[in-house]
Amino acid sequence: MAQCVLSVHEFIQDSFVPMIAVLCSGEAERVTRKNNLNFVELLRPFCRLTSEGHIRDPNNQLQTVKNLRICVSNVVTSPSPSASLGASQNRLLSEVVFSCQPQEAAQTTAMRTGDYHLNLNVTTPWFEAYRENFLQSMPASDHEFLNHYLACILSA
């Protein structure tokens, strides 16, 4: 039913990316607010390489990486309670799903199951939006390495 825009390789490459923490001073935030952006939003256009990148693996072999994307996020100095984080995350995901609902004139497929006649949507754009926002909003866990920061940018 769902018609994915990305291939599996592109989905994995866009979903599981190196994360970089940003810790800004109040002065840096104030300067960037002149353009109605915070410091992290100012860096986001530079988070995807359009050319090839080269990195060395643990065996010192050169590996070529195409379309490398990094995730830059602001570090909050005071942790918020996990209960309110869960509630705000659920609210955000609900809003994402609600905003991506198919229109009334969307293409449907008719199915008959027993005595029931069903009209199902051909695509599910809400699922891809939900999946993307869910993966971006997941907090880091102690037992995993996917959402841990690899570097930190300090801005004064």
Is 152 a residue whose pLDDT tops 50?
A: yes
Q: Give the pLDDT of residue 126.
A: 79
Using 50, 70 and 90 to split pLDDT, how confident is the model at 62?
very high
What is the residue-averaged pLDDT of the chain?
79
Amino acid present at 64: T
User: What does the pLDDT read at residue 29?
Assistant: 87
- Tens digits of residue pLDDT in 33-50: 888 888 888 898 898 888
Residue 86: φ, ψ to 5°: -65, -40
pLDDT for position 60: 93
pLDDT, mean of residues 65-86: 68
pLDDT (0 to 100) of residue 85? 54
C-alpha distances in angstroms, 55 versus 62, 125, 151? Answer: 6, 35, 15
The model carries a pTM of 0.62
The more confident residue out of 152 and 84 is 152
How far, in Å, CA of 11 to CA of 8, rounded?
5
Output the pLDDT for position 103. 62
For residue range 82-120, what is the model confidence (pLDDT) as tens digits?
A: 444 567 778 888 888 888 776 665 667 788 888 888 777
Output the six-digit token pair for 95: 């809003």
pLDDT at 71 over 70: yes
Sign of the alpha-carbon torsion through 76, 37, 40, 90: positive
